[in-house]
Amino acid sequence: MKSINSVAVVGGTHGNEFSGIYLLRKWQQDASRITRESFTTQTLFANPKAHEENKRYLDSDLNRQFAVEDLANPELANYEQSRAKVMNAVLGPKGDAKTDFIIDLHNTTSNMGPTLIVLQSDDFNIRMGAYVKAQMPEAVVVFEDQIPLAEHKFVCSIAEQGVIVEIGPQPQSVIRQDVLDWMETMTGHILDYVDLYNKGQLPELPPTYEAFRYTETLKLPENAQGERIGMVHKNVQDNDFRPLHGGDPIFTLFDGSEICWDGDYEAYPHFINEAAYYDNNLAMSLAEKIAVEL
């Protein structure tokens, strides 16, 4: 892989996820915290208008607007669709981007702790996970590499390399110090990693580490009319990255009855009961546990 010359740190892709927005302000006053020798770093406040209105988005989720065909379609003209085209011009264009690596900062209401979501299982990302976990033992690494990076619709898919820093639990429209500290620490380790990678100075890393690979998304229980009729079971709530087996209770219906998971593998729920996912009636994501080999 060619070296990383240009890095963008993006915050406020969702206007009510405060940690990235406040960190950008801090770093804009003291850029030394995100500056490293071997590359340039820029920051971008992705959706200030949604933040002003204290909402995730105005018209549609900005972090789902970066499909190549959508960026090329001038008829997709709502606020976030327009803003995506601007961001693509500034950081991209996707497929031939002037930015080599994007770190996109997010919060979740789920109890996921400090999570690094990587979208490719190449050497650069695999070693990044190892490095971050070595520096920050509480970090969790999730591979969402089920499709090529270019097919993702995320902000960070504009560049050839991109990751999501996803920290929780934090309610929407709140700043928690623990969550802010985790986000700043993880972002710093990622920037350190890129600098060491560029310079060929990576320390010795363990030959293998534990991570998770996305498998599927579960919906909240609905009736035939598409109305929500249940919620995440209290045994599952807050237990992000704890194993779930077939037959375990997973939902409680409002009538008091329980639904058990019918899966046939050991699953690791995450984004459990994430507030923003109610828009699409999603309950959680599932992953399998993997041993990543360097």
By the criterion CB under 8 A, which residues form the site for a copy of itself?
22, 25-26, 109, 169, 171-178, 180-181, 231-234, 237, 252, 254, 273, 275, 278
Output 5 or 28, the one with its CB closest to a copy of itself.
28
Q: Which amino acid is at 59?
A: D
**Backbone phi, then psi, for 90, in 5-degree steps?**
-75, -45
Kindly compute the dihedral angle of the four CA atoms of residues 213, 133, 114, 234, in this order, to the nearest 10 degrees: 60
CA distances from 85 to 22, 64, 106, 154 (A): 24, 12, 20, 13
Closest separation in Å from C-beta 284 to a copy of itself: 12
Q: Which is nearer to a copy of itself, 105 or 119 (CB)?
A: 105
| Nearer to a copy of itself (CB atom), residue 26 or residue 199 | 26
Query: Taking Cα atoms as reference points, which of 76, 97, 161, 99 lies closest to residue 124?
Result: 161
Which single residue is written with the structure tokens 């996109």?
104
Q: How far is the CB of 46 from a copy of itself (least distance, A)?
A: 20
Neighbours of 161 (CB within 10 A): 24
Cα–Cα separations (whole angstroms), residue 122 to 117, 118, 126, 129, 257: 14, 10, 6, 11, 44
Q: Which is nearer to a copy of itself, 63 or 273 (CB)?
A: 273
Judged by CB, which is closer to a copy of itself: 135, or 237? 237
Residue 41 CB, nearest distance to a copy of itself (Å)? 19
Least Cβ distance, residue 39 to a copy of itself (angstroms): 25
Nearest approach in angstroms of CB 222 to a copy of itself is 14
